[in-house]
Amino acid sequence: MPRYALLVEYHGAPFAGWQRQRDQPSVQGTIEAALAKLEPGPHTIAAAGRTDAGVHAKGQVAHCDLARNWDPFRLSEALNYHLKPAPVAILACALVADDWHARFSAVERRYLFRLIARRAPLTSEAGQLWRVNHDLDADAMQAGANHLLGQHDFTTFRSSICQADSPVKTLDALRVEVLQRTIGTEYRFHVRARSFLHNQVRSFVGTLERVGAGAWTPDDVQRALAAKDRAACGPVCPPQGLYLAGVGYPDDPFTHI
């Protein structure tokens, strides 16, 4: 059975998350239903990361095994036709080796979190950013973020229901970008690591927002990390500003598309 890699984009608002749910809509279930329109199912696809309810993706990667030899472009076009009207799109498709795996072959995940500081509610971008109504100090947030770089025990920033075998992870990048907008200021948190703990990025951003607001100092982030105690974490921010931005592989299947 040929195996295909899928580059997937989606708006997470209508879904209970990536993972298939018995009685709630999911991104996985939506794509598997579209595959069943092309070939008799059931189908089970695997993804690079299981995003939570309300979390978006610009570069999620999944793989599927099919009976037919599909032209990758035609497969992506057919899936996009059957995915309508769900806010899910197959950006690209590639034939990969039988042992290639969207999750286990990955060597890095990249997340983006978008936060906006403005008084007025969001309208056209509602559900796509986290809005706060106070100014933030980007330099202070970056100083706090720098304490998180490298290999650490991230128990403080790990959900109590996280199923990872170990809280020890290596954070390769956490960069704060500032975009001045006509109304308000947008802060983008670019985060990169081989793998993440459950709610780790949202715990980072919620904590750093407290630093930017002046409620915490940058050194408080270091103390929270050293505590290895979930109770020492700042607030976990809401999911709507979080995007799975991309997944890295030693041999990217989409490079030549």
* Residue 256: pLDDT band with limits 50, 70, 90: confident
Task: Please indicate, yes or no, whether the overall pTM of this predicted structure exceeds 0.85.
Answer: yes
Q: For the segment 77-127, what is each residue's pLDDT rounded down to a tens digit?
A: 999 999 999 999 999 999 999 999 999 999 999 999 999 999 999 999 999
- Domain assignments of the chain as residue spans, ordered by start: 3-105, 108-245
Q: What is the pLDDT at residue 257?
A: 64
Q: What is the pLDDT at residue 234?
A: 96
> Which is it for strands 46-47 and 185-193: parallel, antiparallel or unpaired?
unpaired
Residue 212's SS3 state is: helix
216: phi then psi, degrees, rounded to nearest 5:
-120, 160
Q: Is the Cβ–Cβ distance between 102 and 48 less than 8 Å?
A: yes
Q: What mean pLDDT comes out for the span 205-209?
A: 98
> Which is it for strands 242-248 and 108-117: parallel, antiparallel or unpaired?
antiparallel
Domains 3-105 and 108-245 alike in fold = yes
Q: Which residues lie below 8 Å from residue 198, measured CB to CB, with a gap of 6+?
A: 158, 159, 161, 162, 163, 164
Q: Is the Cβ–Cβ distance between 84 and 23 less than 8 Å?
A: no
CA atoms of 53 and 178, how far apart (whole Å): 26
Catalytic residue IDs: 52
Q: Which residues lie below 8 Å from residue 193, measured CB to CB, with a gap of 6+?
A: 108, 109, 169, 170, 171, 172, 173
* E strand residue ranges, the chain: 3-10, 46-47, 56-65, 88-96, 108-117, 130-132, 150-153, 168-180, 185-193, 242-248
Burial class for 2, CB neighbours closer than 10 Å (0-12, 13-18, 19+): middle
Q: What is the pLDDT at residue 255?
A: 87
Q: What mean pLDDT comes out for the span 2-13?
A: 98
Burial 3-24 (b: 16+ CB within 10 A, else e): bbbbbbbbbbebbbbbebeeee
Q: What is the pLDDT at residue 163?
A: 86
Nearest in space to 120 (alpha carbons), one of 213, 209, 184, 210:
184
Q: What is the pLDDT at residue 246?
A: 97
What CATH fold (topology level) applies to the domain 108-245?
Alpha-Beta Plaits (3.30.70)
CA atoms of 14 and 11, how far apart (whole Å): 8
Q: Is the Cβ–Cβ distance between 244 and 59 less than 8 Å?
A: yes
Asked: is 3-105 a CATH 3.30.70.580 domain? The reply is yes
Q: What mean pLDDT comes out for the span 212-239?
A: 97
Q: For the segment 144-183, what is each residue's pLDDT rounded down to a tens digit?
A: 999 999 999 999 999 988 889 999 999 999 999 999 999 9
Answer whether residue 57 shows pLDDT above 90. Answer: yes
Q: What is the pLDDT at residue 18?
A: 97
Nearest in space to 212 (alpha carbons), one of 126, 140, 132:
140
Average model confidence (pLDDT) for the chain? 96
Residues above pLDDT 90, as percent of the chain? 95
